[in-house]
Structure 1
Amino acid sequence: MTASQALVQYKGRDISEKLFRSDKTFIGSRSERVQSAQSMSSKFFIEFVALIVRNRIYNLLKKQMIRMESRQKYLTVPAAIRELEKIEMVRRNNKVYKLDHAVTKTQKIILSSFGLDETDISRNAEEYSKMLTVTQSFMNKEEPDDGEEEID
């Protein structure tokens, strides 16, 4: 193993240890707020999976920052999540869901670090719109009667 490979390996382990140590800060593990051992076990499992996902996001954003050769403020995990949360769908007059606005340059850079681009977002938005339309039509058919009978 070369020195640079060893450094990358060490930093990866160091980041994992820091991540688990800081678990209480960003996941809310400071207070458990559960009533049973099973609930506690489930909460720890979900926290563990969330830490794995967060670490993966961190590593992908870090690689993007290295490729860009400059430190960008929006390439931290909290900032990237805040930026991506701005991508939203709204229901228009014809009851079809569409993206509220175009994907910004910052969002495109963040998405590219995950191997996605604007067309992926647009395609997924169209798929979600179709699913929501089908679900809405199904829910409208299944609405319960209010107890009144129709009089002819």
Structure 2
Amino acid sequence: MSASQALIQYKGRDISEKLFQSDKTFIGSKSERVQSLQSMSSKIFIEFVALIIRNRIYNLLKEQMIRMETKQKYMTVSAAIRELEKIEMVRRNGRHYKLDHAVTRTQKLILNSFGLDETDIKKSAEEYGKLLNSSQSYINKEAPEDGEEEDNRGN
């Protein structure tokens, strides 16, 4: 292992330890706000999984930053999540769901860190749109139309 790889490994472990120490402020473990021991156990487990995911995102963004020549402000975990939250779908013409905007250059760089690209996002959006359309048509079939319900008052 080279010195730079060892440093990356060390920093990753250091970050993990700092994440677990800062768990009280990051995830909200300062006060558990649960009713039972089972609820507390479930909450701690979810926090643990969230910290693992956050650490993985951090490592992927850090690797991308190393490959890039300049340091970018949007390559932190919180900034990357905020940027990716801007990718959203809207309902067009009252029927079909589509991406609201094109994927920006910044979003493409962040997605590239995760091994994704614009075509992956478009494909996923298309699949989600089909699912939403089919679920909406199912809901419309199940809901009674106006005038179909009988008024049983006074009968």
Q: Same fold (TM over 0.5)?
A: yes
**2:98 alignment partner, SS class:** strand
Out of 128-137 and 8-17, give the one that drifted further.
8-17
Tell me the distance in 1 between the aligned counterparts of 2:35 and 2:94.
46
- Give the match for residue 99 of structure 2: 99
Give the drift of 1:65: 0.4
Tell me the distance in 2 between the aligned counterparts of 1:5 and 1:126.
39
Give the drift of 1:6: 3.1
- Give the match for residue 135 of structure 1: 135
**1:98 alignment partner, SS class:** strand
In the alignment, structure 1 residue 31 sits paired with structure 2 residue 37: no
- The residue type paired with residue 74 of structure 1 is Y
In the alignment, structure 1 residue 123 sits paired with structure 2 residue 123: yes
| 1:54–1:145 distance in 2 versus 1, CA, 3 Å | same
Give the drift of 1:145: 7.1
Q: TM (normalized to structure 2)?
A: 0.90
Unmatched 5+ stretches in structure 1:
none
Out of 123-132 and 11-20, give the one that drifted further.
11-20
Tell me the distance in 1 between the aligned counterparts of 2:2 and 2:126.
47
Tell me the distance in 2 between the aligned counterparts of 1:134 and 1:67.
42
**2:33 alignment partner, SS class:** coil
| Equivalent residue pairs, number | 150
Q: TM (normalized to structure 1)?
A: 0.92
Q: 5 Å matches for 1:1-152?
A: 1-143=1-143, 148-149=149-150
Out of 54-63 and 136-145, give the one that drifted further.
136-145
Q: Deviations over 1:74-96 (max 9, x none)?
A: 00000000000000000011410
Identity of aligned residues (%): 79
Unmatched 5+ stretches in structure 2:
none
CA RMSD of aligned residues (A): 1.8
